[in-house]
Amino acid sequence: VRPAPHRLRSACAAQTPRALQDLQALLRLPSVADQAPFVTATAIAVADLCTRDGAEVLRLDRGGGFPAILARWRGRGPRTLLLYNHYDVQPADPEGWASPPFAPTLRGGRLFARGAADNKGDLLCRLAALRAWTAFGGPPCDVLLLVDGEEESGSPSLRGHLADPAAAAWLAAAEAVIWEFGGREPDGRPDLYLGVKGLCELVLRTTGAAALLHAAMGAIAPSPAWRLVWALGALKGPDGRVLVPGFHDAIRPPTAVERAAAARLPLDEADLRARWGVPALLREGGADPRDALLFAPTWTVTELRAGAGAPAVLPREAVARLDIRLVPEQDPARVAALVEAHLAASGFADVAVDYLGGEPAHRTAPDHPFVAAVAAAARQAYGAEPVVHPTSAGSGPMALVAGPRRLPVVSAGCGYWGAQAHGLDENIRVADFEAAALHMALLLQRFAEG
């Protein structure tokens, strides 16, 4: 059975009400890392949804931490598509929300809740696409759905979970991956993302005297704050250049096709300057801000701390947290080792370097046939030309899921430019939810035939 596109469209539309109900039930569970019982309950709820929708389900927990759910739908064709989502969400302080973050609310065609966009909405619109196919005898290809429970914390247990032999056997069949997120531009065009940046998270720590001293003793007692600032200065210069030897060695520069895709991306510099309240955008890593955002590694100091604000006290410790975004072929653990070695060689052996963890980058070539299939399905579902981002500026366990075979991965989903993922009043638009479900349903057909 090869349903006509309009029949698939009405089948998806018919699934929307129930999918939105199931979505709201998931959104009522605050699956925030520090609320373990709710995270576990959400894993069970996701597994139940998949089971009820006809999938075989594995609960993966050999990596420790919160479980991942792996579901498999047997389709009618020989091919296997893997979908990646996550059921954990960012914390949400109800302060500032128009309606409570864990009381999902429909207002003006939008569904508001923490996790609506990131990432439970995408999970449910993919289930809606699979449900739409039941009217036509089931999905046209095998579908695997991997639902991570720790994405917002860097997926520390996922590698261990995926070592489960049953999971590994299922995943060995996957030929391509649809990643968790996506959205629409203000002009309605759908966004496709072909990769993520890598991440290396470091904490640098300096210590001074064991005793709490008057600031005047700074004349003869060491200052951890100065030590830390000088150490940071040894890592990156005021001109933006990273001074760590070897840091750039492994970098694979962007290809001509990736550069061309980046050059076509909408980026309104004046609008960003106005909205962010900054006089100019930085240009580290290229003449165009897109180059810095997508193709250059980025060093961001996300925390810098010394003292408790008391005047005339010499702090005993200073701490900096570094968020280093990586590009393809850089290895996060190696970056951490290079930083430590460079600090030691520059006279900062006293600076303790703690590697909190990381993930390598992953990118799929814009001219890969799988990208063409996802783009063609998007044209059909949205009636608009997709905007192809050669990579997202964000990170995630994409390289791990793509595996040593480096499967092609494309990210597409039901968000939009105003979805406020991680922010206040996170929301999705119901119309986008339905369109994204149709996109997935159409993609299954194209993929099965490809």
Both tokens assigned to 172: 């060995």
Q: Of the ranges 114-122, 224-232, 329-337, 360-368, which one interacts with Zn ion (CB under 5 A)?
A: 114-122
Between residues 149 and 208, which has the closer beta carbon with respect to Zn ion?
A: 149
Neighbours of 346 (CB within 10 A): 16
Residue 119 touches Zn ion, criterion: CB under 5 A = yes
The answer to whether 122 contacts Zn ion (rule: CB under 5 A) is no
The CA-CA-CA angle for residues 229, 245, 295, to 5°, reads 90
Residues 250 and 247: their CA atoms lie apart, in Å, by: 7
Supply the minimum distance, in Å, between the C-beta of residue 424 and Zn ion: 17
Q: How far is the CB of 119 from Zn ion (least distance, A)?
A: 4
Query: Of the two residues 119 and 391, which places its CB atom closer to Zn ion in the complex?
Result: 119
Closest CA to 69 of 46, 53, 52: 46
Positive/negative CA dihedral, 235, 241, 243, 247: positive
Stretch that binds Zn ion, among 111-119, 188-196, 268-276, 372-380 (CB under 5 A): 111-119
Which residue lies nearer to Zn ion by CB, 118 or 201? 118
Q: Which of 22, 88, 118, 288 binds Zn ion (CB under 5 A)?
A: 118
Four-CA torsion 234, 237, 242, 243, nearest 10 degrees: -40
Q: Which two tokens stand for residue 308?
A: 């408790």
DSSP 386: P
Q: Which of residues 265-294 bind Zn ion (CB under 5 A)?
A: none
The residue among 18, 45, 19 whose CA lies nearest residue 31 is: 45
Minimum distance between the CB of residue 148 and Zn ion, rounded to whole angstroms? 9
Contact (Cβ atoms closer than 8 angstroms) between residue 152 and residue 397: no
Q: How far is the CB of 144 from Zn ion (least distance, A)?
A: 18
Q: Show Cβ contacts of residue 74 under 8 Å, excluding neighbours closer than 6 positions.
A: 138, 142
Q: Tell me the window of 118-126, 208-216, 222-230, 311-319 that interacts with Zn ion (CB under 5 A).
A: 118-126
Between 84 and 348, CB nearer to Zn ion: 84
Closest contact distance (angstroms) between CB of 85 and Zn ion is: 8
Task: Pick the closer one to Zn ion by CB: 9 or 114.
Answer: 114
Smallest separation (angstroms) from Zn ion to the CB of 86:
6
Q: Which is nearer to Zn ion, 120 or 429 (CB)?
A: 120
Q: Are 167 and 198 in contact (CB under 8 A)?
A: no
Give the nearer residue to Zn ion in terms of CB position, either 181 or 295: 181
**Which position has the token pair 């508001």?**
112
CB of 263 to Zn ion, least distance (A): 27
Q: How many residues bind Zn ion (CB under 5 A)?
A: 2
Instruction: Find, among 130, 146, 124, 122, the residue nearest to 23 by Cα.
Output: 124
Residues that bind Zn ion (CB under 5 A): 118-119
